[in-house]
Chain A
Amino acid sequence: MISYILRRMLQLVFVLWAGATLLFFLLFTLPNSPGELIAGGANRSANPVVVKNVNHKLGFDRPIYVQYGKFMARTVRGDLGESYRTHEKVNDILKERAPLSLRIAFWAIVIEILVGVSSGVLSARRRNSFADTATTLVAVVASAIPVFVLAYLMKQVTGVYAYQHNWPGWMRFPALGFGPNEWYLWIIPSWEQLRYLAQPVIVLASVSTAILARITRTSMLESLRLDHVRTARAKGLSEKKVIRRHVLRNAMIPVVTIIGIDFGTAAGAAILTEFSFNLPGVGSKIVTAASQRDLPIVLGLSIFVMAVYGVASLLVDISYAFLDPRIRLGGEDG
């Protein structure tokens, strides 16, 4: 078990290194000259002397392997670089923005697990019932709706229409801003804060919830057909017990995989949701930086996102060992 975890961590380090390297060469060799971008902005002819000076000042006139060495050296030390334009440090950006992204991702995942898993289980137990059909339909349609369309629709309904038509207070949510930034125990929003963040959280959760429900259903139906479930029933266990002790655990393996990936993505790369709601999170900053072609910011934040994503999938892999007795190495027998 320990050696498995260690091996898996080494793998994560490799993936992070390779990903960072890939992105570095992608970003810093492809554009004709970063100096030109800074000196003149994109698609403008800049004074060649200025370009040369800028290139020299930022070290772009040095051979690419020297630049790469410098980049790696500071990245390993935990310094993710700074902006060309504003000289903001990526680390400061993260300190400021990552908490909001993490909090939103956390609550979205809570909704996803509660609603997605339970409706998936219900679907599987009452196959072809109305609830089952409804879940299927919603899931198929939800995977075709762009997140930003959903976000804008929601803003229009609960953020604008509700105010115009004097809906009861609990159905109205402010459509602008992100609230007072008040949190208890770091993660629990104050009531006022909740009113601002409920919409983005629901939008962020919605698509993945629908998908998770489908996956839970499929996975449950598969586990229900396994031999040990038949045996458990033959032993005379009640259906409830069969489901809880013998089916759920097995069925949760693909479900946990999805949840891990969703959290990994939501925490750093809830790009569309954050952008549609103008939230000052990590994802929206990546977009701004990308559209301004602020290379170091894009690179630094991408590395952060990769790390969060990687750690999430590492935790998922470790959790397999607890969920599936066949994977578990040592310990009690399942």
Chain B
Amino acid sequence: MVDERDQSGRNIVNGPDEGPMRALRGDPAGYGELSAQQSAALALSELEATALDASLEDVGPSRSLGTDAWRRFRRNKLAIAGLVIVGMLVALGLIGPFLVQNPSFQTQAVRESPTNQHWFGTDQLGQDEFARVVYGVRLSLYIGFMVTLVETVIGVLVGALSGWFRGWTDTILMRLVDVLLGIPYLVLALALVTAIGRGVTAVVVTLAVTAWLQTARTVRAGFLTVRDLEYVDAARTTGVPTYRIIWRHVLPNVFQPVVVLVAVGIGSAILAEAALSFLGVGPVPPTASLGLMIAGSRDYFTEAPHLLLFPGLAIVALVLGFLLVGDGLRDALDVKDA
């Protein structure tokens, strides 16, 4: 089903399979077990392989990396499906408020099955389920994007510091990562929520704090690979200031894995937010949150199964969309270590 060869015909069995799970569960792939040198060597051999393929392939007019990646991405049906799902849900989230009524407006119809008037029926308070799902998707997307934004900034910063300065900076930061990885993410999230309280902002902070570890490790590995290469040396010798070397010469090297992590990370954050709201430590009612909606309707499933199905499907669609896009990007950008 998944095309396992990329355009150049190289085998990328590694690609489509492991993505979502790795990001979802911290770091089961055992990154920590690879020493810096090993991962450097791995990444190097990949660089060489990419270069070789490019030379074989680029007989015609030259194309940019982006064009190439998009060509590969387009051939992957699952990835396109993911992109379509994400696109539709984002559009729904953006224009939704103009389409539906106030999600907290309570009608007289309580737990009514789907009708022409209420497409998804009404919930236990008589609120229109469709409106709530639309607003829930909006909230999920908002939290997904915000968490990933914050998480990526922290992760890139820590990874860059660690990989660039090495020494004790690296030791301290990477030990911190080890310690945080030693706590299952939901437990860490619950502890954080206990400390800072509930609400949308608290959820964003909590999930960002639990999610940056993988990004930091990936960025660090990329920095370690590149920082001693000749062109970086050359830049240093010609007197380019350090921040500029990092920004212009080193950071672009980790761009591809970070893009993949961002796509998969949004999906994971949405799933995690749903879990926190379901457990009653996320956003506070009457906020329309998909997890809260499922939790709130749990006593009525027998009479009103639509109250489980619609928010549940919305979560699945959101997460699946981002996971598929992430996997597609992983193949298209030929990223192995993210």
Instruction: Name A's B-contacting residues (CB within 8 A).
Output: 14-16, 18-19, 22-23, 26-27, 30-31, 42, 128, 133, 136-137, 139-141, 143-149, 152-153, 155-156, 160, 211, 214-215, 217-218, 221-222, 225, 254, 257-258, 261, 264-265, 268-269, 271-272, 275, 286-287, 289-291, 293-295, 298-299, 301-302, 305-306, 309-310, 313
User: Does A264 lie within 8 Å of B184, measured CB to CB?
Assistant: yes
Q: What's the least CB distance linking A326 to chain B, in Å? A: 12
B192 contacts which chain A residues (CB < 8 A)? 26
| Bound-complex Cα distance A139 to B279 (A) | 25
User: Does B184 lie within 8 Å of A309, measured CB to CB?
Assistant: yes
Q: Does B193 contact A (CB under 8 A)?
A: yes
Closest A residue by C-beta to B186: A271
| Bound-complex Cα distance A128 to B294 (A) | 37
Q: Does B141 contact A (CB under 8 A)?
A: no
Given the known A-B contacts A211-B21, A254-B29, A271-B186, are A293 and B319 also in contact in the complex, defined by CB atoms under 8 Å? no
Given the known A-B contacts A140-B20, A310-B182, are A287 and B281 also in contact in the complex, defined by CB atoms under 8 Å? yes
User: Does B294 lie within 8 Å of A156, measured CB to CB?
Assistant: no
B190 contacts which chain A residues (CB < 8 A)? 271, 286-287, 290, 298, 302
Given the known A-B contacts A149-B312, A272-B186, are A133 and B1 also in contact in the complex, defined by CB atoms under 8 Å? yes
List residues 294-338 of chain B with CB under 8 A from any CB of chain A: 294-295, 298, 301-302, 305, 308, 312, 315-316, 319-320, 323-324
List residues 1-39 of chain B with CB under 8 A from any CB of chain A: 1-2, 11, 13-14, 16-18, 20-21, 24-26, 28-30
B271 contacts which chain A residues (CB < 8 A)? 144, 146
| Bound-complex Cα distance A7 to B234 (A) | 40
Q: Does B142 contact A (CB under 8 A)?
A: no
Q: What's the least CB distance linking A252 to chain B, in Å? A: 13
Closest B residue by C-beta to A305: B187
Q: What are some 26 contacts across the A-B interface (CB < 8 A)? A: A14-B175, A18-B175, A22-B180, A26-B195, A137-B1, A139-B17, A141-B316, A143-B323, A144-B271, A145-B315, A146-B278, A148-B275, A149-B294, A149-B312, A152-B301, A155-B301, A215-B17, A218-B18, A254-B28, A254-B30, A269-B184, A272-B186, A272-B278, A290-B190, A305-B183, A305-B187
What are the interface flags for B105-136 relative to A under an 8 Å C-beta threshold, 1 for contact and 0 otherwise?
00000000000000000000000000000000
A264 contacts which chain B residues (CB < 8 A)? 184
Q: What's the least CB distance linking B28 to chain A, in Å? A: 5
A16 contacts which chain B residues (CB < 8 A)? 182
User: Does B195 lie within 8 Å of A31, measured CB to CB?
Assistant: yes
Chain B residue total in the interface (Cβ 8 A): 59
B308 contacts which chain A residues (CB < 8 A)? 149, 152-153, 156
Decide if the interface of chain A is mainly helix, strand, loop or mixed: helix
User: Does A140 lie within 8 Å of B312, measured CB to CB?
Assistant: no
| Bound-complex Cα distance A310 to B184 (A) | 10
Q: Does B267 contact A (CB under 8 A)?
A: yes
Q: What's the least CB distance linking B276 to chain A, in Å? A: 10
| Bound-complex Cα distance A147 to B294 (A) | 12
B294 contacts which chain A residues (CB < 8 A)? 146, 148-149, 152
| Bound-complex Cα distance A87 to B106 (A) | 42
Which of A144, A257, A293 interacts with B316 by CB under 8 Å? A144
Closest B residue by C-beta to A215: B18
Q: What's the least CB distance linking A159 to chain B, in Å? A: 10
A18 contacts which chain B residues (CB < 8 A)? 175-176, 179
Closest A residue by C-beta to B23: A143
| Bound-complex Cα distance A31 to B196 (A) | 7
Given the known A-B contacts A140-B323, A146-B275, are A261 and B28 also in contact in the complex, defined by CB atoms under 8 Å? yes
User: Does B2 lie within 8 Å of A19, measured CB to CB?
Assistant: no
| Bound-complex Cα distance A145 to B294 (A) | 13
